[in-house]
Structure 1
Amino acid sequence: MGFTVRAAEHTGFTVRDLDQAVRLFTEALGFRELRRAHMAGEFAAQVTGVPGAEIAMAVVEAPGHRIELLQYLSPARHGQAPPRPNDPGAAHLAFEVDDLDAVLAAVEPFGWRPPGSPQVMATGPRAGTRFVYVQDQDGTTLELIQPPA
């Protein structure tokens, strides 16, 4: 191929409120905030393809992965409805947890709720594993996975 993909560097989410998003990942999930930055001008516009982009950014570190949180300060949001998991372009980040119910309780005060309910895989190699999606008001989606004890 002529090139090598060396690593998955991070997963990015555009958020409505950067401070609230950082609090969810640090206070509710126990991740560590690594850094914050502000991006604007030609660099931000060319990287994102959004003319006039001004972005407040934070990076948090999950076990084995980094999450980049981006709050666009400008231009104004388009006001489109949040994507649903079945909409093309929708994405989610999955975390394996040891107590799915405790995580649900921890993220709820931050406005994250399951659009459905936790389910147990009945058959196959992941039989007994519990799964649920949680979403914020913008449709950002995390999947929580609890393997059997």
Structure 2
Amino acid sequence: MSEAAPAILRADHVGFAVASLDAALRFWIDGLGATLEREGEMAGAFLQEVTGAPDATVRMAVVSFAGLEIELLDYAGPDRPASPQKPFHPGFAHLALMVADLPAVLARIAPHGWRPAGTPQRIPVGARAGTLVVYVTGPDGATIELMQPADTAG
């Protein structure tokens, strides 16, 4: 007999490591309309034990919208990679957002350095047939999937 699955209470937040907390805040607040919830700094043994980042410091902020909290982490210290992974690399994650007007969102986020990976496409079959979808990648390499439901697609 297998053990019972752990009791997951709820999803809490999504986190993104960023190259510049200030630039990231401009994108999330000005570009997507999020609300700044809190800011802070962490360092020392606590940070190393939680994240595995030796001798690092981190400036952090939490923003929220649509009932979701996004944690932005600006790490400083050794072992910081120079280039981000690609969305198709194993272990890479993305956040998916439903939007009412995909072209309007693309226009609003472009000044913040976020670019589509390709041309928005309609899902051809299945439960989400007709949904307009595209990945956008930010200056730090983070990826957001933008989805416009078929019933709002023009």
Q: TM-score range by the shorter chain?
A: over 0.9
Structure 1: distance between partners of 2:10 and 2:111 = 34
- Pairing of 1:100-111 with structure 2 (within 5 A): 100-111=102-113
| Matched residues, number | 148
Residue in structure 1 matched with residue 116 of structure 2 by the alignment: 114
The TM-score with structure 1 as length reference comes to 0.94
How far off its partner does 1:77 sit?
2.1
SS at match of 1:85: coil
Aligned residue runs from structure 1 range 1-149, under 5 A: 1=4, 3-75=6-78, 77-79=80-82, 81-148=83-150, 149=152
Aligned equivalents of 1:87 and 1:76: distance in 2?
20
Give me the CA root mean square deviation.
1.2
Supply the AA of the counterpart residue of 1:141: T
Q: CA deviation at 1:76?
A: 5.3
Q: Residue type matched to 1:9 in 2?
A: D
| Equivalent-residue separation in structure 1 for 2:36 and 2:127 (angstroms) | 35
Equivalent residue of 1:103, what SS? helix
Return the offset for 1:40: 0.4
Counterpart residue identity of residue 23, structure 2: Q
Report how far residue 137 of structure 1 moved.
2.5
Deviation at 1:89, TM superposition (A): 1.3
User: Bigger shift: 69-78 or 97-106?
Assistant: 69-78
Query: Partners in 2 of 1:78 and 1:95 — Cα distance?
Result: 27
Partners of 2:20 and 2:31 in 1: CA distance: 16
Hey, what's the Cα distance between the residues in 1 that align with 2:36 and 2:110?
20
Unaligned runs of 5+ in 1: none
Q: TM-score normalized by structure 2?
A: 0.91
Per-residue CA deviation, residues 87-126 of structure 1 (Å, 9 max, x unaligned), is 0111100100000000000110000001111001122221
Whether the aligned pair in 2 keeps the contact of 1:54 and 1:75 (CA below 8 Å) is: no
Distance 1:65 1:104 in 2: 20
